[in-house]
Amino acid sequence: MKTDTATNEVILAEICDGIGWIRLNRPTKINALSAEVVSRSRAQVEAFERNDEVKVIVITGSNRNFSVGYDIAQEVEMGLARPEDWHAALTNNVGLSMAVWSSTKPTIAAVDGWCLAGACELAMACDMIVATDRAKFGEPEIRFGSGPVTLLMPFILGQKKTMELLLTGDTIDAVEAERVGMINRVVRPEELEVAVQKLAQKIALTPLVTLRLTKTALTRAYEAMGLRNAVNVNLDLAATLNAAEAPEKAQFVKLVRDEGLRKALDFRDKRYGALTD
């Protein structure tokens, strides 16, 4: 096992038997995707993309969770207000997911625990998802006045289930996620990394040039259906949405700023009900 020189405290990266692992590593924040995590994760994906020793890229999280999504507290602290400010910030977020999507190497998300919001989009940007039976998926952003940043769900789940999940902010468990086609398989928590490594090694038996060209053909097929255009259009709309005024959103942001994220989430959950856990 070799540790990559680009490792740091917020992500951990290693190469094991031709598989490049990227581990989101902010356990005290449930691996929330801060600006630093986003930039360093994207840089690591691109480094693995250039490294011919790596044939498959795996993204996972530390401490029994994948990630709860973008760091809301950091966004509030940044004081983003104008659509153009939001557009710049969200462009960076979309850049990570689309770097994973655009990789010419097969990608796998290994998901345990929470996989929410931008992290759910990051997992969906991977070619395959293997999840534990305690994993939870969803995009609850609508519950605090936001919306999906990288609009991939319609291409993964189809129109009806996407409408339900994105307009309610509900979460689904791994069994339901497998049933509706969001993920590939469900395993026990203690089996996750072994199962993903085994799947990745099976894929890695194929010559890299074959993997690259096959992956490129599949990616272009979805883009011919309009995926990339939908992502770009949604980015513009998301910047406007995040800058839009609404009393409930103002109250949520004020609570984050004055009393902390936990109080704001309690306010959200009082209105909608707690996310399933």
* Total count of domains within the chain: 1
Check whether 8 has a pLDDT greater than 70: no
CATH code of the domain containing 235: 3.90.226.10
Task: Tell me which residue of 17, 6, 46, 75 sits closest to 202, measured CA to CA.
Answer: 17
Question: What would the two tokens of residue 117 be?
Answer: 């919001």
Query: Does residue 200 sit within a domain?
Result: yes
Query: Does residue 262 sit within a domain?
Result: no
Query: Does residue 272 sit within a domain?
Result: no
Q: How far is it, in rounded angstroms, from Cα 266 to Cα 136?
A: 19
Task: Tell me which residue of 170, 124, 172 sits closest to 151, measured CA to CA.
Answer: 124
Check whether 211 has a pLDDT greater than 90: yes
Q: How far is it, in rounded angstroms, from Cα 186 to Cα 175?
A: 7
How much is the pLDDT for 181? 96
pTM (two decimals): 0.93
Any bridge partners for residue 67, and if so which? 115
Neighbours of 88 (CB within 10 A): 12
Check whether 73 has a pLDDT greater than 90: no
How much is the pLDDT for 173? 97
Check whether 1 has a pLDDT greater than 60: no
Query: Does residue 92 sit within a domain?
Result: yes
Query: Does residue 179 sit within a domain?
Result: yes
Confidence of residue 246 (pLDDT cuts 50, 70, 90): confident
Confidence of residue 49 (pLDDT cuts 50, 70, 90): very high
Check whether 7 has a pLDDT greater than 60: no
Confidence of residue 231 (pLDDT cuts 50, 70, 90): very high
Confidence of residue 276 (pLDDT cuts 50, 70, 90): low
Check whether 274 has a pLDDT greater than 90: no
Average pLDDT value for the chain: 93
Check whether 105 has a pLDDT greater than 70: yes
Check whether 4 has a pLDDT greater than 50: no
Query: Does residue 274 sit within a domain?
Result: no
Check whether 185 has a pLDDT greater than 80: yes
How much is the pLDDT for 107? 98
Q: Which domain holds residue 170?
A: 2-245
Across residues 184-201, what is the average pLDDT? Answer: 97
DSSP class per residue in 19-76: EEEEEE--GGGTT-B-HHHHHHHHHHHHHHHH-TT--EEEEEESTT--B--B-HHHHH
Query: Does residue 167 sit within a domain?
Result: yes
Q: How far is it, in rounded angstroms, from Cα 192 to Cα 169?
A: 27
Q: Which residues contact 224 (CB under 8 A, 6 or more apart)?
A: none
Across residues 209-231, what is the average pLDDT? Answer: 96
Helix (H, G, I), strand (E, B) or coil at 231: helix
